[in-house]
Structure 1
Amino acid sequence: MKTSRGWWAFAGILSGAVGLALSYAAAALLHVRESPVVVVAEGFADLTPGSVVKWAIDTFDKDDKKILVLGIMLFLTVTFAVLGRLARTRWWAAMIGFCALAGVAVIAVLAKPTPSPIDFAPIVVGLLCWIVALAILAEWLRRWEMVADGDEPAIEPMHTRRHFFIAAGATAGFAAFGGLIGRLAGSARRRAEESRRLLRIEGITAPDVPNGASFEIDNVSLWQTPSEDFYLIDTAFIKPTIEPADWQLRIHGMVDREITLTYQDLVSREITQDWITLNCVSNEVGGDLIGNAWWSGVRLAAILAEAGPQEGADAVLQTSEDGWTCGTPLGALMDDRNAMLAVAMNGEPLLIEHGFPVRTIVPGLYGYVSATKWVIDMEVTRFDEIEAYWTGKGWSEQGPVKIASKIEVPHDGDEVAAGEVVVAGVAWFQHTGVSAVEVQVDGGAWKPTELAATPNIDTWVQWRTTVDLDEGDHQIRVRATDRDGNAQTGAIADVLPDGATGWHTIDVSVNA
């Protein structure tokens, strides 16, 4: 036989590519948010242990999802090549392999909170394309082999080879066409962006930085974090795109009255606005997974009061449009803090990446137990009856923020001139507040710093001081004290299971 196994592997890869491309096109045409590859990637991430997820975030930062998708694509490429070679002698084995791949995608869809029949359509399209494409390519490869072996002497070998390459080219063309159609049909993002751009919400005002809140020191975090620079942590491989007219929030469970809110219902209520700092539980000591913004929305306390939580309820299981869940203490949503369904950030409708059209903001809690982007469901329940996304991976059930502070000027490893050196940064303890920040040089006495003004206890506070440094190497650390008089602990703890602790410490070299 003159056809090499490489051509069979090539046929398998080409068949796999056209199936993936046309399943992607089907997902876009049917307005299914997740193509099969994405739904499997999200399912894989859901099943990954929390320690592995933390390692991926720490190692790859914002590229962790891209790395996972690339890894899945590499795995599929190798698998398609193997299935193509199997088809040469064991056609049934190749078909079982394709069905197994489709089965993995089906399981991933079924694992979503509310799968619908239409969600399975792209998987069916992909499977059929795999089988049909490989059958066509395999037919011409077998004819090529038969001619080369002399079993069909009346047919020119070049003729069969040409037909195989024509079939391969057509398959590749279908793959390219499917990818193009998917891209053109994937207009949901564009429609959502257009709706966001044209949206006007009555009662939303532009932010105005409070007097005295910023020392205006270079390299110290801006008091107001620009929306596009605000840190991003979520599990969505493709950000949900929901138009305001299509958004609904269902509040149910242990309540006297189930409530369903439309977007118009929500924004017709009284708008509340406030400066609120958010930080991620994955933020290392001195890390940058933190930001402060002017949030606008509707307080949750009044809405939940209308629903009437029943006796014994102590939690709200929030669900995002992409299926992510978190368990939030019911008391934190109904006390005096400004927990809200936010519709705007820094005076503009939320960015899609930050939860457009509606997300949850709860001061004083880490995001993994409160800050649900693209929120569509709230079930009033009990903590002992639920398991949310991150708590199922080893994180604590309830996540109140911890007092923290960091040095931003100078940076760790900087070289500075001897004499008076400005040391500055930020500190935070949302919903309790910071009363003092101190710095220490080379293990000496703690020195108080000057604090900037803050409009409330839910934001960070800038601090600054000067220290006199001689030539040589020095170590500087910082600690904060809350408004109840409790000093930030120096005990070092990892972010898992409920947030990092320890004093942020930097080393500087001082030149004469």
Structure 2
Amino acid sequence: MTDTRERTDSRPGAEPQDQPAAGWRLAAGLAAAAAAIGAGHGVAALVNPNASPLIAVGSSLIDVAPTPAKEFAVRTFGTADKPVLVTGIAVVLLLIAALLGLLAWRRRPVALTGIALLGAVGVLAATLRPGATPWDALPSVAAGLAGLVALDRVSRIGGRSRTAGSAPHPSRRALLAGIGATALTAAVLGGGGIVVSQLRLAGAEARRRLGLPSPGSRSAPVPAAAQVEGNTPFLTSIDDFYRVDIALVTPRIDPDQWSLTIDGLVDRPLTLSYRQLLELPMIERNITMTCVSNEVGGPYVGTASWLGVPFTEIIKRVGVQTGVDQVFSYSSDQGYTCSTPYQAVSDGRDAMIVVGMNGEVLPDKNGFPARMLVPGLYGFVSGTKWLERIEFTRYDRRTAYWTSRGWATQAPILTQSRIDVPKSLGMLSKDKPVLAGVAWAQHRGIERVEIRIDGGPWQQATLADEAGVDLWRQWSFVYRGPAGRHTAEVRATDKSGKTQPERRTKVFPSGARGWHQIRFTVE
């Protein structure tokens, strides 16, 4: 039978003491970490899902990460950047826990102190974020205690001194039972948290089925000729619509517990329940949205049909005072704020507080119960999701989340174009030699699109019908060139007469510039 023990001290005069082999000690540390994570998740389900230790630490890392690190994460991992971050944190935690497990039999106080410090890190991360409450410390406290108890109990198995006449040390079976019990505890605690979360979600889902009101003003139908055959769908489905935000866990908000406060430099502050918001006059509009993190040719742009309360209605009801130049919005996502020029919500464009998307209640991932949308502005200065407060104020009084990190204060969407057909390194067939794509310059509109093959002269592409200045425009170009490999570049000119510049820039601080280029092969 394989011996599960190692001699821990061979100094002269020292009393020999057994400890399990390294593999067992590693397993004990990992089991203790699992118990801690399970306990933290279970308590967070009762208190605040965002206070779960892994989520709290991850959110804090996002807050303190320098801009280049955030750009790299979005560019490299896309919409998977947050799962990658949480996974990375979990891996680091497990590695530390494994190390503490190695130490636990020989240096139990050191190992237990390490577990306590990990819990303290979670407490600090959960309680120091904006909007946190003292209750947010509970999940990390529970995680720390669960980890301490689990590692302490398991590390006492096989840890007695071996002296004459002492009882035999526990066998591998005892160690397996101890580690298994710890793992089972982790599963029960974590599973309990999942059950509680699902019950809450089911209740909230049932309560949000209030339906949507009919808009007083409907969107104009999209012309059939606005869609180029075989090109990107003109209207983007909810599942395919991009998502970029700082939330590690999608907020799940009970509409019965939610309210929207509208205050600041106004004559008549308002607090609206979800039902009261739905009772206000509504408009429906097709609008293209773009994220400032979208690289040249990137995927973070999409078009949907939006239902919401126009800002003109809000302004009329609250009575905005003279001197206001900023709309400062607050999200239920802890710490996130957004700064929007007052001019952009009061100049007659279809700025709105959105409650519906593509004929459905606004999905959780897109900002339920309500979000902002302002055509012509990047989302980081206009598109607050999980909206809970709007403050009419001044730029010299408030600085928003991204502005404080060096991003632009005024951020109109730049004129851009993209080649979607064929994909880069794709094939252009003889029977359908068509390149196609989209161009956008929200709130200005697209005047023309040009394409250049193999560095030759610019040639004008055929524009599909326009559906509105707040929407992207599709284009196509027939190319009957020789077989083989080629390059294609595209540029757009908006209705103000400005053409995309050639020189590429990074997305920071106000959006990417440059021409999209692909390589393709003709049959």
Give the TM-score of the pair, scaled to structure 2.
0.89
Change (3 A) 1:156 1:260: same
| Separation (CA, whole Å) in 2 of partners of 1:230 and 1:385 | 34
Please tell me whether residue 267 in structure 1 is matched to residue 278 in structure 2.
yes
| Pairing 1:414-493 to 2, within 5 Å after superposition | 414-416=426-428, 421-493=433-505
| Residue 115 (structure 2) aligns with | 98
Count of residues in correspondence between the two structures: 503
* Residue correspondence of structure 1 range 17-166 to structure 2 within 5 A: 17-143=34-160, 146=161, 149-150=162-163, 153-158=165-170, 163-166=174-177
Q: Is the 8 A contact 1:32 1:118 kept in 2?
A: no
Tell me whether 1:293 sits opposite 2:304 in the alignment.
yes
Give the 3 Å change call, closer, same or farther, for CA 341–63 of structure 1 in structure 2. same
Q: What letter is aligned with 1:78?
A: L
Tell me what 1:10 maps to.
Answer: 27
Q: Which runs of 5+ in 2 are unaligned?
A: 1-16
Mapped to 1, the partners of 2:114 and 2:243 lie a distance apart of: 37
Distance (whole Å) between structure 2 residues aligned to residue 385 and residue 28 of structure 1: 36
Question: Are the equivalent residues in 2 in contact too, given 1:277–1:430 (CA < 8 A)?
Answer: yes
The change in CA–CA distance for 1:93 and 1:212 in structure 2 (over 3 A counts) is same
Is the partner of 2:42 in helix, strand or coil? helix
1:383 partner SS? coil
The residue that corresponds to 1:229 in the other structure is 240
Identity percentage over the alignment? 37
Aligned CA-pair RMSD: 2.5
Which residue, out of 178, 192, 204, partners 2:189?
178
> Partners in 2 of 1:135 and 1:474 — Cα distance?
66
CA distance in 2: counterparts of 1:67 and 1:101, whole angstroms = 20
Residue aligning to 2:5: none
Mapped contact 2:18–2:158 kept (Cα < 8 A): no
Taking the aligned partners of 2:470 and 2:313, their CA distance within structure 1 comes to: 20
Q: Which SS does the other structure have where 2:156 is aligned?
A: helix
User: Structure 1 length as normaliser, TM-score?
Assistant: 0.91
Q: Secondary structure at the match of 1:479?
A: strand
Q: Which residue of 2 is the match for residue 502 of structure 1?
A: 514
CA displacement at 1:337 relative to structure 2: 0.9
Distance 1:20-1:415 versus aligned 2 partners, 3 A rule: closer
Residue 398 in structure 1 maps to residue 442 in structure 2? no
Distance of 1:440 and 1:297 partners within structure 2: 41
372, 375, 385: which is aligned to 1:363?
Answer: 375
Look up the SS of the partner of 1:376 in the other structure: strand
CA contact (8 A) 2:428 2:434 kept: no
Q: Residue 377 of structure 1 aligns to a residue in which SS?
A: strand
Cα pair 2:329 2:389 within 8 Å, conserved: yes
Equivalent in the alignment of 1:278: 289
**Aligned partners of 1:66, 1:472: CA distance in 2, in Å?**
40
Q: Distance in 1 between matches of 2:225 and 2:397?
A: 43
For residues 274-353 of structure 1, the aligned pairs below 5 Å read 274-323=285-334, 324-353=336-365
For the residues of structure 2 that align with 1:243 and 1:92, how far apart are their CA atoms? 44
Q: What is the letter of the counterpart of residue 314 of structure 1? A: D
Q: Is the 8 A contact 1:206 1:346 kept in 2?
A: no
**What amino acid is aligned across from residue 2 of structure 1 in structure 2?**
D
Match of 1:214 in 2: 226
Q: Deviations over 1:491-510 (max 9, x none)?
A: 22121211111122233333
Q: Deviations over 1:358-389 (max 9, x none)?
A: 11111101111111111112233333443333
In 2: Cα distance, 1:95 partner to 1:457 partner: 62
Rounded Cα–Cα distance in structure 2 between residues aligned with 1:78 and 1:418: 56
Look up the match of 1:244.
Answer: 255
In structure 2, C-alpha distance between the alignment counterparts of 1:216 and 1:451, rounded to whole Å: 9
8 A contact 1:213–1:462 mirrored in 2? no
The residue type paired with residue 469 of structure 1 is: G
Bigger drift between 263-272 and 497-506 goes to 497-506
Q: CA deviation at 1:451?
A: 2.2
Asked if 1:410 corresponds to 2:426, the answer is no
Q: CA distance change for structure 1 residues 182 and 206 in 2, over 3 Å: closer, same or farther?
A: farther
The 3-state SS of whatever aligns with 1:142 is coil
Aligned 8 A contact 1:420 1:468 in 2? no
Moved more, 311-320 or 368-377: 311-320
2:178 aligned partner, one-letter code: A
Which amino acid is 2:298 matched to?
Answer: G
Q: Alpha-carbon deviation of 1:242?
A: 0.8
Which secondary structure does the structure 2 equivalent of 1:365 belong to?
A: coil
Which whole-Å CA distance do the structure 2 matches of 1:287 and 1:370 have between them?
20
State the shift of 1:419 in Å.
9.6
Q: Distance in 2 between matches of 1:202 and 1:38?
A: 36
Q: CA deviation at 1:163?
A: 4.7
The residue type equivalent to 1:271 in the other structure is M
CA distance in 1, matches of 2:389, 2:356: 19
Using the TM superposition, give the Cα deviation of residue 140 of structure 1 relative to its aligned residue in structure 2, in angstroms: 3.0
Deviation at 1:391, TM superposition (A): 2.8
1:431 Cα deviation (Å)? 0.9
Deviation at 1:174, TM superposition (A): 0.9
* Per-residue deviation, residues 248-294 of structure 1 (Å, max 9, x unmatched): 11223333333212111111011111010001111121222111110
Query: Contact 2:329–2:337 at 8 Å: present in 1 too?
Result: yes
CA distance in 2, matches of 1:292, 1:441: 28
Letter in 2 for 1:446: W
Distance verdict in 2 for CA 1:471–1:83, change over 3 Å: closer
| 1:460-497 CA distance string (max 9 Å, x none) | 11122324423454333222221122222222212121
Distance in 2 (CA, whole Å) between partners of 1:227 and 1:104 is 37
Flag the 1:221–1:417 CA change in 2: closer, same or farther, 3 A.
closer
User: Which structure features the higher share of helix residues?
Assistant: 1
